[in-house]
Structure 1
Amino acid sequence: MNKKASREEYILNALQSANRMTTGEAANVLGISEATVRRIFSDLEKSGKVVRNYGGIQLAENTPSYSFEQREKIFQQEKIEIGRLAAAAVMDEDTIYLDCGTTIFQMALALSVRIAKNEFSSLRIITNSIANTQAIVPSPSCKVYLIGGEYNDRRRDFSGPLTEKYLSPFHFTKCFLGCDGMHIQSGFSSNQIDISSLNTRVIERSDAKYVLLDNSKFNQCSLIAYAGLSEIDGIFTNTPPDISLQEMLSANGLKVLVPDVSR
């Protein structure tokens, strides 16, 4: 995906939650000039995906909203690699939390392979995602807990105050979270307010905290942050970030974990 397509995808994803975006907001988040933003807005309008209004844009009425199935196809190979890498970090007798989202779903698929091979004598998985529960092969050595609440059929997950209440009895040795953006100033963020709130609660209950993201999320700010850089122990990604971001991550004690391309 080229830079222009990546920017357009980011804007459309952000509009799923924010409904409207101004020229100044897009320029600030993407780190580009307002003139460049206006050209992107114009191209999106010509494609029928957005409608321009005074000072910004909003989604066109015929633009399809977020769907799990559509998102699953974006950066699919990168997500598979990240998911396998993260699944390898799960140890016997862990109690883990798996966030929703298509990258975490790939981790659930990879973890299911390990479970089927009887690599665990005891493993507990807690998740808010129906997709994750469907991906994991049933096993006497692996217990899966689906926390309920308000169901979002497009994302195939649960969130909201009831979900956070169901979460309260649990303590996790590790949590694995997704994100829509990672930035030096704002940290890790999501386009979904309810998911960000839930992730903050999960972090409070976890010994080790990890985030899974592909490299298109580097230096990006989404709608609302759920953790600063120093609150996360490591990220699983497909390629390392640029030097300046790597140095900042290292200064905050955050490890960057990428697949071994030599294998």
Structure 2
Amino acid sequence: MLAIERKNEILATLQKEQRVLVTELSQRYNVTEETIRRDLEKLEKEGFVKKTYGGAVLNSNTNLDLPLRIREKNNQEEKEKIASKVADMIEEGDSLMLDASSTSLMIAKKLKKLKKLTVITNAVEVLIELSGQEGIKVISTGGVLRDASLSLVGKSAERTLENYNADIAIISCKGLDLKRGVTESNEEEAEIKRAMRRCATQTFLAMDSSKFNRASFVRTTDLKAGDTLVTDRLDEEWRRILTDKGIRLVTCGEE
């Protein structure tokens, strides 16, 4: 295994479990503990982790922006169910705006079953996933490439979005908090999501349940009456609060 692959796997484990131990990683990857310590030192310099005695913990900064390749590995089963549910709600001929997130990429894969669709996106991975798909028209926002998220951002991307009126904007988030609303780790990503929301008749927020009661760096928007939230599960308190706001709730496994 290449060092970069090992680092990415360690970071994925940290994202899931919040902490790792040097001894356990050494045994898992069949390398010396010193090699693991060097991996953790590099991750610490990159701002992703904080070293502790005998291991490391995930950096809890609200503006931490993990690479898309890492986020794709987290909560895959839940995101898969959410993606299937969202795709089932899309009708032939719809026009969509799809943001750059690991959940949106899974949704794009499910959308390929449709025979007529228009997708406007700032996600490089979504552009690639849907390229050459007969019946699906794909429009790129253009813009400045963000390496971490493989997304296109900036004023030119926002201006492109503003040229269109879509049926549905499908966005994800880094956190949903009662006081702070829908939040994102990066301001440019948040601006794109806001623009998508403004330019669509409906907004779907697709997020796995790990995002509840979390607040990231930038406030993106608030959920409002008429919005649709698609998630894998929902506790009774959140269900009551969101229902009172007039938000349509769709939970995987429910009709």
TM-score class normalised by the smaller sequence: 0.7 to 0.9
Does structure 2 conserve the Cα–Cα contact (< 8 Å) formed by 1:127 and 1:147?
yes
Match of 2:33 in 1: none
- CA separation of 1:94/1:8 partners in 2, compared to 1, >3 Å: closer, same or farther? same
The correspondence of residues 31-180 of structure 1 with structure 2, limited to 5 A, is 45-46=52-53, 47-48=55-56, 66-112=66-112, 114-115=113-114, 120=115, 122-136=116-130, 138-180=132-174
8 Å contact kept, 1:187–1:227: yes
Q: Could you tell me which amino acid in structure 1 is paired with residue 152 of structure 2?
A: F
- The 1:243–1:109 alpha-carbon spacing in structure 2 relative to 1, beyond 3 Å, is same
The equivalent residue for 2:8 is none
Q: Is the 8 A contact 2:79 2:106 kept in 1?
A: yes
Shift of 1:8: 3.7
Structure 1: 5+ residue stretches without partners:
10-15, 21-40
Task: Give the partner amino acid of 1:85.
Answer: K
How high is the TM-score relative to the length of structure 1?
0.73
Deviation at 1:71, TM superposition (A): 1.1
3-state SS of paired residue (1:162): helix
The question of whether the paired residues in 1 share the 8 Å contact of 2:183 and 2:216 is answered with: yes
Report the residue type matching 2:217 in the other structure.
L
CA shift for structure 1 position 7: 8.4
Q: Distance in 1 between matches of 2:61 and 2:118?
A: 44
Letter of the structure 2 residue corresponding to residue 251 of structure 1: D
Is the contact made by 1:189 and 1:225 (CA closer than 8 Å) also made in structure 2? yes
State the 4+ residue runs in structure 1 displaced beyond 4 angstroms.
4-7, 48-51, 56-59
CA contact (8 A) 2:18 2:57 kept: no
Q: Indicate conservation of the 8 Å contact 1:124/1:142, yes or no.
A: yes
Q: How many angstroms does 1:50 deviate by?
A: 7.0
The count of aligned residue pairs is 215
Structure 1 residues 147, 132: closer, same or farther in 2, change over 3 A?
same
Percent identity of equivalent pairs: 19
1:204 aligns with 198
SS of equivalent to 1:92: coil
Following superposition, the deviation at residue 258 of structure 1 comes to 1.6
Structure 2 SS opposite 1:124: strand
CA contact (8 A) 1:50 1:58 kept: no
Q: Deviations over 1:226-247 (max 9, x none)?
A: 111216611111112x212111
Q: Distance in 2 between matches of 1:186 and 1:229?
A: 11
Q: Secondary structure at the match of 1:189?
A: strand
Equivalent residues of 1:236, 1:256 under 8 A apart: yes
Question: Are residue 233 (structure 1) and residue 227 (structure 2) matched?
Answer: yes
- State yes or no: 1:243 paired with 2:250: no
